[in-house]
């Protein structure tokens, strides 16, 4: 069974940090780009960050650039999103997703697999 399982969300004060993890199974992890997306109430889903499969090239939304860092550990089939200097506007459900051609501005492309999401809440 294909699975993407997010963990690491929670409640944090503004200025704090969280590290999200996305553990993958059931598909060839190394072939896929992995993206982090988020959706807050009343807002469209936003591509936060993604990392390519071939060269570890990365993308960050302007809203998180300089604060978030994406990385992958292919040996563990896991992608991480280190989130620092969190702001209340970062509050959302965060999803990881896998696709063969996710990339570019907004991490666009066909999404093959989605995780279930993890809630991140940043208090003022």
- Compute the average pLDDT of residues 94-107: 90
pLDDT given at position 18: 98
pLDDT (tens digit per residue) in 54-98: 777 999 999 999 999 999 999 999 999 999 999 999 999 999 999
On the question of pLDDT at 16 being above 90, the answer is yes
Q: Measured between alpha carbons, how far is residue 5 from residues 13, 108, 113, 115 in Å?
A: 24, 21, 11, 5
Longest dimension (CA), the chain: 40
pLDDT (tens digit per residue) in 109-123: 999 999 999 999 999
What percent of the chain lies above the pLDDT cut of 70? 100
Q: What is the mean pLDDT of the chain?
A: 95
Token digits of residue 91: 């509050």
Contact 48, 37 (CB under 8 A): yes
């Amino acid at each position: 069974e294909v699975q993407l399982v997010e963990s690491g969300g929670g409640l944090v004060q503004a200025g704090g940090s969280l590290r999200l993890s996305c553990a993958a199974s059931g598909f060839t992890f190394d072939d896929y780009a992995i993206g982090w997306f988020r959706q807050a109430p009343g807002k469209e889903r936003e591509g936060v960050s993604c990392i390519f499969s071939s060269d570890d090239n990365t993308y960050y939304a302007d809203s998180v650039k300089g604060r978030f860092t994406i990385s992958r550990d292919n040996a563990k089939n896991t992608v991480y999103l280190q989130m620092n200097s969190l702001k209340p506007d970062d509050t959302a459900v965060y999803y990881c997703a896998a696709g063969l051609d996710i990339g570019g501005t907004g991490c666009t492309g066909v999404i093959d697999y989605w995780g279930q999401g993890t809630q991140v809440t940043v208090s003022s």
